[in-house]
Each structure stands twice: as structure tokens, then as C-alpha cells.
């Protein structure tokens, strides 16, 4: 076996560059900007260019293979490349000036566009026609080349990183720590791209005559993936009957299940597609039809679950994408059930169209989600007297804890996905400055807290659970707030369960917890005083802020007083469950102070 010569490797590298020059140029620009961004104080401009240049890789690769397969002339190729450059410039103009910390909406849109461009590269040589076998063999080659490039890149990076480490530790050469990051950037953008492009089939039309099909692939799909799909579909069908029998809306978790079944089922379908027309593989056609038939109920349940969440809490990017994915799955299912041709390239083509169509515009995921949550926040602020003449004002009346939780959650979402500028319209004189400052120094949650504080409200974590809400609750006083006023108490009693009672010396008084009542002080004649649990729950409803596990001492304090005694109780821990709107305490810890008169 002869090792390839340096001349051969150089020639192949130059051939790959000449084949897709703009993609390789994008990789080089991304690497250079990535390195510069690690060295300058204001890295935002270079990060924006790096992000945009990364998109050049799949974009210009897709344009290059489309030109090759369709035999386009130089003029048309040049015109399409110009359009591609203009598109990248337009995308760059949508990126915010501040890239650190970056809004999650920017990250999500980048990933969405990236996925769309990769899907475009997967089918564009066959967009005008071509065979199923050629399409499948082409994508098989791309996938294997991707894995090969990933393996080579990992080995090269680890090898060179260890070499740098050896130079540093063994020979004492001063190797800066950032050198490892530079090496990673160059390997990921330049080396990985070059290796991948070097193995992409050049004769795309000739792939039609390739009949090679790994038997292990068929075994994997037929005996592993398809049985798993059958199990998942059986579970979904049983769950459907449960939904019908109990008349309970589908759980929000159904989205993960349906998505997983769809991904695994479609993957199995794609893996065995090249052998579907062979006599011994007629079962593939049967599997295809029945898979999508059994997916219909799951898709309907998914649509119902998404509708319920949107109806309750409005549209967010995740719910938007889940709704669009449900509709796309429904359309693909109908196509494969009804159509006689069943072209598999319909899957990446339609998914690519959906990815681009939902990325931008007034109908896109980001505009629709922002408008939906903005409208919800406006309604909540107006209902609680916080929005006055279009500007935020401090609340003058008590705001229910559920409304405070929703206001806090929406504020955090808007800051995290759309930036503090979303609040410019409501904060007087561009008063968003505190929020921007919090984003820069403390993160998006600090920014949301500052905005909620400007409304005169305590920020409530999304998981903070009021007693009236269904499910488990667990309240505890903040460790830093466990300093209690004695208030002239003569005795202090610590309760640590919901069972038993404690005698108070020779007073004849007994203190105990009684279910559904609270902490009761009694003597031989009956009840003397009660620190009511209903009063405690009412205080928690009004004063819940931050975490359930760090409640203010004042919220957890209940007192009762009469002509004989003054009973003051600090509930240091209280947990239980709410069913049907009625909370039941399972465990209580309380410090009780008794003052005799």
C-alpha cells in the first residue's frame, strides 16, 4: 500500500477549493474572525461575521452541487453566488449589535437557518428530477463523509493539542492557554470542511448506477428500529384510548413521544428505501403505509396538546415549532398514505421549505411568539393597574400570586429570547437601561427581576407553587431569615411532625398540630388558641415570591391572641399536596412561642 504523496494531497486540497471556493472562503473567514474575537475587547462585530460566514459553508456547497448536477454555465453560477452573498449580508444585518450575552432567539434562528441550508444541500441536485437510488446514494455518501471528517478532525485536534501540552510541560516553551481554543477553531472550520469537501461525490449523475447496499444497514433498520417503532406506536395507541376513556386532555409530554416516534420511524423508512422494490422486501411498502396510518392519532393528540398550551399561555417559539411540526407530519403522513409515487425526497424538500418559511417575516416563529407574549403581558399589567397610559407604573393594589408568576415568566421569556429592548415602549424615557445593565453583568434573569421590580412587584419563580394550585407544595423559611422575634414569650416549643403533642411545663397547656386546623394550643377545658393553617395559606398566596424553599419569615408567621395567651408560630417547613383545590399537609416543622398573660 502506497501512502499518498504530498503533491497528491496538495492537488486534492486545491481541487476541493476550486470546486467550492466560496464555502472554503467562508470557513477561512469564520476561523479568522473566531480567533480575533478571542483577542479583542469588543468581540461582537467579529462574532457576527463568524456566525454569518459559517452559514456560507452549507449555502455555497448547495449552490455548487446544484450547478454541477444541472450543468449550469459560469454566468448563472456567478449570478447565484452573488445572490448567496447578498442573502448572507441580509442575514448579518438582522444580528443584534450586542452578541454577549446573546438572545436565545438569535441562537434559535441561526440553528434553524443552518438546518434549512443543510437540508437544501441534501436534495438540491435532485430538485428537478433524478432517481430515488441516486438521491439515496448521494445522501449516504454525504453522511459517511460527515462522520469521516468528524473523526479525522477529532484525531487531529487531540493530537496537536497533546503536542502543544508536551511542548509546554516537557520543554518549557510558553504556550498560551488560548492556543488550544485557536487550534479548535481552525480544526472545526477549516480542516473539517476541507476533509468533508474532499470526499463528496463528483459524478452525482453516476450514483444512479451504484447498487451497493450494506446488509448491516437493513438488519439494523428491520430488526432494531422498526420493532422499536412498533412498540412506540402501541404505547401511543393505548394512550389514545386512555384519553378518550378519561376525557382528559393529552399531556404536554406527548410532544416528545410523537416527535421521537416520527424521527425513528422515518429514519427506518429512509434506511431501507433502496431495497423497497425488491421482491423479498415487499414488507417495506406495507410498513410505510401502516406506519403513517398509525401516526395520525398521535399527531392529532399532539395538536390538541399544543392547542391547550397555546390557549393557556400563548405562543412561544417552542410551541410554534411543535405546532408547525405537527402540521408537517400530518401532511407527510397523508402524502405517503394516499400517493402511489411516494418520493422520499419530499421529506427534506418540505422540511427545508418549512425551516426557511418560519424563520423570518410577520408569520415567522419569532415575530408571532413575541407579539403573543407581549399581548399577554399587556393584558396582565392593565388588569392589575400596572400599565397606565402606555407606561409601566408601580402597582398600587395587591397583585395575585398567579398573575405575578405569569408577569415574571413572560418578562424573563421576552428578555431571554428577544432582548431588553422589547420593554422600551413601556419603560419611561427608555428606562430599559437597568435591564440592559443587568443583562450585561448578571444575566437575563437579573434583567427580568429589575423589570418586575420596576412594576413594584416581587419576582416569582415559575416553579414557585401556591397552595391553591394542583400538585405537591413544599415551603421553607429562607435560611438567612431564621431570626425570630420572641415578642415576650415565656415558652418556645418546636414541632417536627404532624403527629403527637407537646406539654408546656406545668402550665397545663399542650401544643400540637391538627390536620386542616393548624397549630392548636389547648388545656383540659378545650382549645385556648389556634394558629390557623388557612391563614398561613392565604399569606402564602399573597406573599409568595422567589423560591418556595426560601420564603420570608413574615410570610410564614401566624399569630393568635386572647385574654389568656399570645401564640406566635413560625412555620419553618411545610409540605403536602393539593387535590381538587384543597391543600393537605403531610409534614410540618414549626417554632411556636407562647406568652402567658
* CA pair distance 513, 491, nearest whole angstrom: 17
* CB neighbourhood size of 232 (10 A): 20
Task: Give the CA count within 13 Å in the CB-facing half-sphere of 295.
Answer: 30
CA 317 to chain centre: 9
C-alpha cell at 365: 416563529
* CA pair distance 48, 94, nearest whole angstrom: 10
* CB neighbourhood size of 323 (10 A): 19
Helix (H, G, I), strand (E, B) or coil at 315: coil
C-alpha cell at 146: 460527515
* CA pair distance 268, 284, nearest whole angstrom: 10
The contacts found for 421-429 with CB under 8 angstroms, 24 or more apart, are 422/370, 422/374, 423/392, 423/451, 425/390, 426/381, 426/387, 426/390, 426/391, 426/392, 427/391, 427/392, 427/451, 427/454, 428/391, 428/392
C-alpha cell at 392: 409601566
Q: What is the per-residue pLDDT for 119?
A: 95
* CB neighbourhood size of 532 (10 A): 15
C-alpha cell at 346: 419530499
Q: What is the per-residue pLDDT for 474?
A: 84
Contacts of 432 (CB under 8 A, 6+ apart): 420, 421, 423, 424
Burial class (CB in 10 A: 0-12, 13-18, 19+), 126: buried
Q: What is the per-residue pLDDT for 302?
A: 87
C-alpha cell at 301: 393528540
* CA pair distance 227, 233, nearest whole angstrom: 10
Q: What is the per-residue pLDDT for 62?
A: 94
Task: Give the CA count within 13 Å in the CB-facing half-sphere of 102.
Answer: 17
H/E segment holding residue 23: helix 21-37
Contacts of 409 (CB under 8 A, 6+ apart): 462
Residue with cell 449580508: 89
Q: What is the per-residue pLDDT for 538?
A: 85
Comparing CA positions, the residue from 134, 121, 141 lying closest to residue 63 is 121
Q: Cis (ω within 30 of 0) for the bond into 359?
A: no
| Domain edges within the chain | 6-209, 215-360, 366-454, 471-596
Q: What is the pLDDT along the chain (597 residues), one digit of tens a residue?
A: 455 555 665 776 788 788 889 999 999 999 999 999 998 888 889 999 999 999 999 999 999 999 988 888 889 999 999 999 999 999 999 888 766 556 778 888 999 999 999 999 999 998 877 677 889 889 999 998 999 999 999 999 999 999 999 988 888 788 888 899 999 999 999 999 998 998 888 888 888 888 788 888 878 888 888 888 889 888 888 888 888 888 777 766 777 888 888 888 888 888 888 877 677 677 777 787 888 888 998 898 888 888 888 998 899 999 999 999 999 999 999 998 888 878 889 999 999 999 999 998 899 999 999 999 999 999 999 999 898 888 888 888 888 878 888 998 999 999 888 877 788 888 754 444 444 444 444 467 788 888 888 888 888 776 666 776 777 788 888 776 677 877 788 899 888 876 668 888 888 899 998 888 899 999 988 899 999 998 888 888 777 765 666 788 888 889 999 999 999 999 988 888 888 778 888 889 999 999 998
C-alpha separations of 570 from 15, 66, 102, 454, 520 in Å: 77, 73, 43, 30, 13
Q: Report the phi/psi class of residue 287: left, alpha or beta, with left for phi > 0 and alpha for psi in -120 to 50.
A: alpha
Amino acid at each position: 500500500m502506497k501512502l499518498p504523496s504530498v503533491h497528491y494531497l496538495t492537488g486534492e486540497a486545491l481541487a476541493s477549493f476550486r470546486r467550492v471556493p466560496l464555502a472554503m472562503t467562508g470557513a477561512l473567514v469564520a476561523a479568522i474572525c473566531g480567533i480575533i474575537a478571542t483577542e479583542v475587547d469588543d468581540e461582537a462585530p467579529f462574532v457576527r461575521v463568524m456566525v454569518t460566514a459559517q452559514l456560507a459553508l452549507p449555502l455555497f456547497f448547495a449552490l455548487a452541487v446544484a450547478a454541477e448536477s444541472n450543468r449550469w454555465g459560469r454566468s448563472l453560477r456567478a449570478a447565484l453566488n452573488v445572490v448567496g452573498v447578498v442573502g448572507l449580508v441580509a442575514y448579518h444585518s438582522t444580528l443584534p449589535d450586542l452578541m454577549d450575552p446573546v438572545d436565545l432567539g438569535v441562537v434559535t434562528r441561526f440553528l434553524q437557518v443552518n438546518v434549512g441550508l443543510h437540508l437544501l444541500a441534501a436534495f438540491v441536485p435532485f430538485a428537478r428530477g433524478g432517481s430515488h437510488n441516486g438521491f439515496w446514494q448521494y445522501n449516504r455518501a454525504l453522511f459517511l463523509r460527515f462522520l469521516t471528517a468528524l473523526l479525522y478532525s477529532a484525531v487531529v485536534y487531540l493530537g496537536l493539542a497533546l503536542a502543544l501540552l508536551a511542548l509546554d510541560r516537557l520543554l518549557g516553551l510558553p504556550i498560551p492557554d488560548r492556543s488550544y481554543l485557536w487550534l479548535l477553531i481552525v480544526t472545526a472550520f477549516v480542516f473539517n470542511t476541507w476533509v468533508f469537501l474532499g470526499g463528496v461525490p463528483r459524478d452525482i449523475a453516476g450514483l444512479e448506477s451504484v447498487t451497493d447496499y450494506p446488509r448491516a444497514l437493513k438488519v439494523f433498520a428491520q430488526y432494531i428500529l422498526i420493532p422499536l417503532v412498533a412498540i412506540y406506536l402501541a404505547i401511543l395507541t393505548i394512550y389514545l384510548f386512555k384519553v378518550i376513556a378519561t376525557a382528559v386532555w393529552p399531556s404536554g409530554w406527548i410532544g416528545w413521544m410523537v416527535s421521537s416516534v416520527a424521527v425513528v420511524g422515518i429514519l427506518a423508512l429512509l434506511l431501507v428505501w433502496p431495497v423497497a422494490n425488491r421482491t423479498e422486501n415487499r414488507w417495506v411498502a406495507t410498513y410505510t403505509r401502516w406506519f403513517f396510518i398509525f401516526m395520525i392519532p398521535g399527531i392529532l393528540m399532539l395538536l390538541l396538546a399544543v392547542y391547550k398550551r397555546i390557549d393557556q399561555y400563548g405562543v412561544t417559539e417552542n410551541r410554534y415549532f411543535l405546532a408547525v411540526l405537527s402540521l408537517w407530519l400530518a401532511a407527510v403522513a397523508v402524502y405517503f398514505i394516499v400517493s402511489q409515487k411516494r418520493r422520499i425526497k419530499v421529506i427534506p424538500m418540505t422540511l427545508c421549505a418549512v425551516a426557511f418559511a418560519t424563520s423570518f417575516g410577520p408569520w415567522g416563529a419569532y415575530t408571532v411568539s413575541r407579539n403573543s407574549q407581549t399581548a399577554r403581558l399587556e393584558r396582565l399589567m392593565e388588569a392589575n393597574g400596572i400599565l397606565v397610559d402606555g407606561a409601566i407604573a408601580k402597582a398600587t393594589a395587591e397583585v395575585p400570586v398567579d398573575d405575578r408568576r405569569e408577569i415574571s415568566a413572560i418578562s424573563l421569556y421576552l428578555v431571554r429570547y428577544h432582548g431588553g429592548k422589547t420593554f422600551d415602549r413601556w419603560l419611561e424615557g427608555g428606562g430599559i437601561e437597568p435591564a440592559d445593565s443587568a443583562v450585561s453583568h448578571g444575566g437575563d434573569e437579573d434583567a427580568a427581576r429589575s423589570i418586575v421590580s420596576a412594576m413594584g412587584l416581587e419576582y416569582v419563580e415559575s416553579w414557585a407553587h401556591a397552595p391553591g394550585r394542583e400538585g405537591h407544595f413544599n415551603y421553607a423559611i429562607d435560611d438567612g431569615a431564621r431570626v425570630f422575634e420572641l415578642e415576650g414569650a415565656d415558652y418556645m416549643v418546636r414541632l417536627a411532625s404532624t403527629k403527637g403533642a407537646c406539654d408546656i411545663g406545668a402550665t397545663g397547656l399542650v401544643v400540637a398540630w391538627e390536620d386542616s386546623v393548624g397549630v392548636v394550643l389547648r388545656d383540659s377545658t378545650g382549645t385556648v388558641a389556634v394558629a390557623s393553617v388557612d391563614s398561613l395559606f392565604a399569606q402564602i398566596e399573597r406573599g409568595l415570591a422567589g423560591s418556595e424553599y426560601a420564603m420570608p419569615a413574615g410570610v410564614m408567621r401566624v399569630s393568635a391572641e386572647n385574654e389568656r395567651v399570645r401564640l406566635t408560630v413560625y412555620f419553618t417547613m411545610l409540605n403536602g399536596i393539593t387535590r381538587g383545590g384543597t391543600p393537605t399537609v403531610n409534614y410540618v416543622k414549626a417554632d411556636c412561642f407562647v406568652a402567658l398573660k
